């Protein structure tokens, strides 16, 4: 069942399901992507990696879904 099907099914039954998206720190992004900090920021600058969200002075986080989508774009068969 696809996400839109789940949302449609939930609305038919009077239920609302929220989709949770985690905000992950750079160290986690490095581990998930296998990339160094410098490479991540170089790819961001060239438009080839998702931009982080600023959550305060000097603090950024990435949407986990953005990082996963980036990974899947590299190997669409996943």
State residue 5's pLDDT score: 46
DSSP state of 37: H
What is the CA 29 to chain-centroid distance, rounded? 10
Residue in the block written with tokens 């986990």: 64
Segment 16-60, tens digit of pLDDT:
777 789 999 999 999 999 999 999 999 999 999 999 999 998 899
Contact (CB, 8 A) for 22 and 32: no
**Confidence band of 78 (pLDDT split at 50, 70, 90):** low
User: Does residue 1 carry a pLDDT above 60?
Assistant: no
């Amino acid at each position: 069942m696809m996400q839109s099907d789940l949302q449609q099914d939930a609305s038919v039954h009077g239920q609302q399901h929220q989709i949770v998206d985690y905000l992950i720190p750079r160290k986690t992004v490095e581990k998930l992507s296998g990339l160094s900090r410098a490479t991540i920021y170089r790819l961001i600058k060239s438009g080839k990696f998702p931009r982080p969200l600023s959550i305060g002075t000097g603090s950024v986080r990435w949407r986990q879904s953005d990082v996963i989508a980036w990974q899947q774009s590299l190997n669409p068969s996943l």
